Amino acid sequence: MAFATRPFVRFSSATAAAKKLVVKHVAVIGGGLMGAGIAQIAAATGHTVILVDQSDEILNKSKKGIEDSLKKLTKKKFADKPEAGAEFIEKTLKNLTTSTDPVSVVHSTDLVVEAIVENLAVKNELFKTLDKFAPEHTIFASNTSSLPITEIANATTRQDRFGGLHFFNPVPLMKLVEVIKTPMTSQKTFESLMDFSKALGKNPVSCKDTPGFIVNRLLVPYLMEAVRLFERGDAAKEDIDVAMKLGAGYPMGPFELLDYVGLDTSKFIIDGWHLLEPDNPLFAPSPLLDKLVEEKKLGKKTGEGFYKYK
C-alpha cells in the first residue's frame, strides 16, 4: 500500500491518556470481506467510520457488499416495518465514508482497525507509517487471526495502545470478538477495546497473545488431526465428517469446514505456527494438505478441495 507523506503536528494528551477512551471515530484499513464487515457493524452502531483501501474500485465493491448485507439484515430485522428498515440503512451509510489515503484519515480517528493481507512485513509497514500521523490517544488494533500481535505492535511507538480485535466471518452475524492483550497493552486500552466490542453488539472474550488466540488455537489442531486420521487410513473423510456432526453435534465436519475456510488459509496458519514451535506435534504440517494446496485444490472457492463442488 502506497502512502503520501504529509506534515502532522502531534499534540500531547497526558490528560486524555488518564481516562478510558470511548471510541467514536473508527478507521478500518482493508476493504475485503472482514474489513467491510467491521466497517458495516461500526457504522450501524452509530460510529463514524472511514473504510480505506488501495483503489476506488475495491472500495466501490466493498460499499456494494455492505449495502447488500444491510438489505438482507433489514428484511429480517424490520420485516413488519420496511420504512424503519430503509431509515436504518440510510443512517448506517451516512456514517460510512471511504478513502484511498490512510495517512489523511488517521489524524481524526480514535481507533484504527487493520484487516489487510496476512503478511507481517506488510502490516508492520502500514502501522509504522500510520504511527507517525495518528494522534497520541489513537488506539491501533489488528484483526489478524494467526500473526503475533506483539510483533505487529513493535513496529510502532504505541505498544501500550495496541491490541488485537479478532472478528469472525461473516462479521455482521458472528457474535464473537477475541480481544487480545499483549504484555505491553495498557489496561485502559484493553478496557476501551472490550467496551468498543460490546458497543458493536458483540460478545468479547479476552486472551493473551498466544498462537491462534482461543478459537483457532483449538480449532486448527482439531482440523489437522482429522486430516492425519484420514492420512493414516484410520477412517474415510466422509465418515469422520458424519461422526463429528452426529457424535459431537458440530454443524460441519472437519473436512467440510476446511473446504469452506480454504485449504490455503489453514496451511498458512499451521505453517506459521510450525515455524514458531517446530517441536509441537499439534503444529506439524500435513503432506496431504500441502499436496492439495500445491495442486490449487483450495476448497469451495476453487471448486475442489477434499471434496468436489459443482
Catalytic residues: 145, 166, 178, 216
Task: Provide the 8-state DSSP code for 154.
Answer: T
63 labelled binding-site residue: no
266 labelled binding-site residue: no
53 labelled binding-site residue: yes
147 labelled binding-site residue: no
1 labelled binding-site residue: no
Give CA–CA dist 150/136, Å, rounded: 19
174 labelled binding-site residue: no
71 labelled binding-site residue: no
169 labelled binding-site residue: yes
Question: Is 234 strand, coil or helix?
Answer: coil
* Backbone angles phi and psi of 82, in degrees to 5: -60, -35
Burial string for 30-66 (b: 16+ CB within 10 Å, else e) reads bbbebbbbbbbbbbbbebbbbbbbeeeebbeebbebb
Task: Provide the 8-state DSSP code for 66.
Answer: H
* Cβ-Cβ contacts under 8 Å for 80 (sequence gap 6 or more): none
Which burial class, exposed, middle or buried, applies to 155 when counting CB atoms under 10 A from its CB (0-12, 13-18, 19+)? buried
Query: E strand or H helix at 181, and its extent?
Result: strand 176-181
Q: Read off the C-alpha cell for 37.
A: 464487515
55 labelled binding-site residue: no
32 labelled binding-site residue: yes
31 labelled binding-site residue: yes
30 labelled binding-site residue: yes
Q: Read off the C-alpha cell for 2.
A: 502506497
Q: Do 92 and 43 meet the contact criterion of CB atoms below 8 Å apart?
A: yes
Give CA–CA dist 48/109, Å, rounded: 9
Give CA–CA dist 70/64, Å, rounded: 10
76 labelled binding-site residue: yes
Q: Which residues contribute to the annotated binding site for CoA?
A: 69, 76, 145
- Binding-site sequence positions for NAD(+): 30-35, 53, 118, 123, 145, 169, 301
Residues belonging to the binding site are: 30-35, 53, 69, 76, 118, 123, 145, 169, 301
